[in-house]
Amino acid sequence: VVIIEAVNLCKSYSMGTEQFHAAKGVNLQLYEGDFTVIMGSSGSGKSTLLYLLSGLDTITSGEVYFKGQRIDQYSEKEITDFRSNKIGYVYQSINLIPDFTLLENVAFPGYVAGRGKSEINIQAMTLLQMMGIAEQADRLPSQVSGGQQQRAAIARALINSPEVIFADEPTGALSQEQGTIILDILTEMNQKSQSIVMVTHDIKAACRADRLILVKDGNIDGILELGKYSPDQ
């Protein structure tokens, strides 16, 4: 089942009087339940594509559909609701709020979505537990490791039960060991039917993909069907 579809998707950035074309007519379908991995050299347009497919940035032309609904024509309110309820986003830079504890960081998007306090706190705690960082719930981001911060960021992305998790180089700032923990968490979530779209430079991370999408110079350069990851591979 197609969950996200891009049709002739273009994105241009203006740089002074010049236009830079970071997406040049991308046609792409992403499937529900897939662990999709996007690879390509630096500057090829991977982050741009992730921003456009997730509705985090406006497109220049073309169409983006989420479950058959055209999200690029959503009103300001519709797109805000979409971002807060349908997708979760994990960044390489982690960007937790430094003055909030891990629990408060994870719970925060729940408050923004207008949900009840006790329900959010219980769910936030459950997610921290799932990520193996329940003991760090009351610590500030600066008081835990990078890997633990990234696990909290994944928990935060999950708080409103999104249909798709987008992750832009989630292991890029982490040690090999912490990176593997993050990949194991994402793989386990995917095995429980969570759709994931991840940008990475790391071959080990790419091995977790059902489908590998290669991006080059603002367009799709190839798609590899890999099937479900198993640890024996």
For ligand ADP, which is the closer residue by CB, 32 or 221?
221
Give the type of residue at 156: R
Tell me how far, at minimum, the Cβ of 20 lies from ligand ADP, in Å. 5
Tell me how far, at minimum, the Cβ of 188 lies from ligand ADP, in Å. 25
For ligand ADP, which is the closer residue by CB, 92 or 123?
92
Tell me how far, at minimum, the Cβ of 50 lies from ligand ADP, in Å. 8
Both tokens assigned to 136: 């760090």
Angle between helices 102-112 and 117-130 (to 10 degrees): 130
CA–CA dist 139, 218 (Å, integer): 41
For ligand ADP, which is the closer residue by CB, 44 or 160?
44
Strands (E), 1-120: 2-15, 18-31, 35-39, 61-66, 69-70, 87-91
Tell me how far, at minimum, the Cβ of 151 lies from ligand ADP, in Å. 20
Q: In Å, what is the CA distance from 225 to each residue of 1, 41, 206, 232?
A: 15, 20, 12, 18
For ligand ADP, which is the closer residue by CB, 19 or 175?
19
For ligand ADP, which is the closer residue by CB, 49 or 131?
49
Q: Which residues bind ligand ADP (CB under 6 A)?
A: 13, 15, 20, 22, 40, 42-48, 92, 168-169
Given a contact cutoff of 8 angstroms between Cβ atoms, the answer to whether 38 and 213 are in contact is: yes
Tell me how far, at minimum, the Cβ of 98 lies from ligand ADP, in Å. 20
Give the residues across from 39 on adjacent strands: 214
